[in-house]
Amino acid sequence: MDQNNEFLEEDEDELYEHFRITADPGQSLMRLDKYLSHHLKHASRTRIQNAIDTESVKVNNATVKSSYKVKPHDVITISMAQPPREPTEILPENIPLNIVYEDDEVLIINKAPEMVVHPGHGNWTGTLVNALVFHFANLPTSQNGVIRPGLVHRIDKGTSGLLVIAKTEYAMQYLAKQFADHTTERTYNALVWGELKEPKGTINANIGRGFKDRRLSDVFPDGDHGRVAITHYEVIKPMRYVSLIKCNLETGRTHQIRAHMKHLGHPLFNDATYGGDRVLRGDLFSKYKQFVDNCFEMLPRQALHAKSLGFKHPKTKEWMQFDSELPADFQGVIDKWEHYLQHK
């Protein structure tokens, strides 16, 4: 690339990457698709064309066609579905999937609790990706043959709920753009410690990797570090020492809800990573502590569920909306807590 090219930081939470390229002062007229193929050596022509077709490429802040002639000083911005990082041969595994919806372009999965989405250190098998590779032979692959089973977003291992999977390269790019533009709808249910002062509100505080522990996400309310993160929350059911809330994500940072709720003083119930795996509200008399420990055993993970998901369909352009019920472990703890309060 020429010296005017600037690589923009990849959003670590979603599977897409951004670029900005400024054409040289002496740039001769050249078709946009040809220009990008020359400057984005790692990207296949298919990826570039899909980005243009889905209006993920802009020149001077305007959408253009492949035939547009790049001129000197043009500023080109590109957002593309992220290619896979790991040169792996992913082992297909016959793991049952809870398929909510499927057509030629997309697949909606209701992920079970404790299932890892993508193979990685310590979790090379038993993942959602291993299951997808077994059940779906023609999911998108990168140009070098590395398996990329349509991931455009992820949820944590301990989080249950809805995920959309792209079944074609075009669908992957079209969905990735929606996640990048924050035009999808994602609603989560969470059980948090304590009763919130306000029945609804918005947390607008940057999130970034922790300085002390890079595996954690820290909140930087002054905006001096991290990236913009916005969570809208509303209390569904206050239960004295805990509250069932719903959260709508405007952005999709790593551990966003978990980090934001801890910052607010209401960590997720049984979230060991962010301090929610001990009694944080209520007296510490033995009967109550035993009750909480029993709830922890019923729900051995953070109390977070990706309940609803909405997006525009890649082909029909119609709005698709999906909803899911709370899994048995999550609902069981809510029922148990309500029963405890009634008989207290």
Cα–Cα distance for residue pair 52/235, rounded to 1 Å: 41
Cα–Cα distance for residue pair 344/340, rounded to 1 Å: 6
Cα–Cα distance for residue pair 36/70, rounded to 1 Å: 10
* CB-CB contact of 202 with 231 (8 Å): yes
Two tokens at 9? Answer: 């930081």
271: nearest Cα among 235, 198, 226, 217:
217
**H/E segment holding residue 304:** strand 304-312
* CB-CB contact of 127 with 116 (8 Å): yes
Q: Which residues pair with 166 in a beta bridge?
A: 106
Residue 127 is given by DSSP the state S
How many Cα neighbours within 13 Å face the side chain of 341?
13
151: nearest Cα among 124, 173, 134:
173
**H/E segment holding residue 335:** helix 328-342
Catalytic residue among 156, 271, 277, 329: 156
Q: What is the dihedral of CA 202, 302, 324, 240, to 10 degrees?
A: -60
Cα–Cα distance for residue pair 332/344, rounded to 1 Å: 18
156 is catalytic: yes
The string of DSSP letters for 40-85 reads -TTS-HHHHHHHHHTT-EEETTEE--TTPEE-TT-EEEEEEEPPPS
Active centre residues (catalytic): 156
